């Protein structure tokens, strides 16, 4: 583990820990406020993210931006990253060994950011961070506490694009997050 961003960011340059390095154009490390109280973790970069090197800048990102605007959350004040930092081919779900290979980067990001709240966007984030036995269908919308961090699992924004009925649940979950986030900002 690195105790500063410079060393951590240097350590990922040219990463070849897993096969996802073969087809990537850019490593999508993460972005935002490095002292954010609120962090979002998605699954892995898509085509737009791979092209630009930034998380959530494609269709799913546009949905996130709408939610941020609706909830008055300033995107530049939160930290956004993914379970895997390189795009899985055809946007498939990252395989277990790929996620495992990449997870130390995320652990280190969490240690350095020290968020109070982490929003887990979808099943891949939930299972890789809190445990394989959890199901996003059962856990979404329920706060979970682990080692002093509050976790809110919710739908991945891409799931909303496939199934409109999930939008209201996503919105309600993020509203809960916003309430807790505002309480933190007051203190
Ligand atoms: N989907 C994700 O999980 N992460 C991104 O950065 C973009 C889309």
For 103-133, the pLDDT digits (tens) are: 999 999 999 999 999 999 999 999 999 999 9
Distance CA 41, CA 156 (A): 10
Write down the pLDDT at residue 50.
98
On the question of pLDDT at 162 being above 80, the answer is yes
Q: State the distance from the centre of ligand 1 to the C-alpha of 152, rounded, in angstroms.
A: 17
Q: Is the pLDDT of residue 185 over 90?
A: no
Indicate which atom in ligand 1 lies nearest the CA of residue 43: 3
> Taking the C-alpha atoms of 160, 162, 165 and 170 in order, what is their torsion angle to the nearest 10 degrees?
-10
Inter-axis angle of helices 59-71 and 166-186, nearest 10: 50
* Nearest atom of ligand 1 to the alpha carbon of 80: 6
Check pLDDT > 90 for residue 11.
yes
Task: Give, for ligand 1, the residue of 31, 156, 161, 162 to mutate: max count of ligand atoms closer than 8 Å to Cβ.
Answer: 156
Identify whether the C-beta of residue 124 lies closer than 8 Å to the C-beta of residue 44.
yes
Ligand 1 centroid to Cα of residue 161, in Å, is 13
Q: Phi and psi dihedrals of 181, rounded to 5?
A: -60, -45
Residue-level length of the chain:
187
Q: Give percent above pLDDT 90 in the chain.
A: 98
The pLDDT value recorded for residue 155 is: 98
Superfamily of domain 5-186: Uracil-DNA glycosylase-like domain (3.40.470.10)
Residue 158 CA: nearest ligand 1 atom is 1
Q: How far, in Å, from the CA of 81 to the mean position of ligand 1?
A: 8
Distance 186 CA to ligand 1 centre (A): 30
Q: What is the pLDDT of residues 84-100, one digit of tens each?
A: 999 999 999 999 999 99
Mutate to test the pocket of ligand 1, among 26, 41, 60 (most ligand atoms within 8 A of CB): 60
Q: Is the pLDDT of residue 54 over 80?
A: yes
How many angstroms separate the alpha carbon of residue 148 from the centre of ligand 1?
26
Helix (H, G, I), strand (E, B) or coil at 144: strand
Least confident of 68-72, 125-129, 161-165: 161-165
Mean pLDDT, range 60-71, rounded to an integer: 97
pTM: 0.98
Mean pLDDT over each residue of the chain, to the nearest integer: 97
pLDDT of residue 179: 98
Which residue puts its alpha carbon closest to atom 7 of ligand 1?
56
Confidence of residue 83 (pLDDT cuts 50, 70, 90): very high
Q: What does the pLDDT read at residue 84?
A: 99
DSSP 105-129: HHHHHHHHH--SEEEEESHHHHHHH
- Sequence ranges of the domains in the chain: 5-186
Mean pLDDT, residues 167-176 taken together: 98
């Amino acid at each position: 583990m690195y105790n500063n961003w410079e060393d951590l960011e240097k350590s990922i340059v040219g990463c070849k820990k897993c096969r996802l390095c073969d087809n990537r154009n850019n490593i999508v490390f993460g972005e935002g406020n490095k002292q954010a109280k609120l962090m979002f973790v998605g699954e892995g970069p898509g085509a737009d993210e791979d092209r630009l090197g930034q998380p959530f800048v494609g269709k799913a990102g546009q949905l996130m931006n709408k939610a941020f605007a609706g909830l008055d959350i300033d995107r530049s004040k939160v930290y956004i990253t993914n379970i895997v930092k390189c795009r899985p081919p055809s946007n498939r779900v990252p395989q277990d060994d790929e996620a495992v290979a990449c997870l130390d980067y995320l652990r280190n990001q969490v240690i350095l950011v020290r968020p109070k709240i982490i929003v887990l966007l979808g099943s891949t984030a939930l299972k890789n961070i809190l445990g394989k036995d959890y199901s996003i269908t059962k856990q979404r919308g329920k706060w979970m506490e682990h080692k002093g961090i509050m976790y809110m699992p919710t739908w991945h924004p891409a799931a909303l694009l496939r199934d409109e009925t999930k939008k209201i649940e996503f919105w309600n979950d993020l509203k809960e997050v916003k309430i807790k986030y505002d309480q933190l900002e007051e203190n």
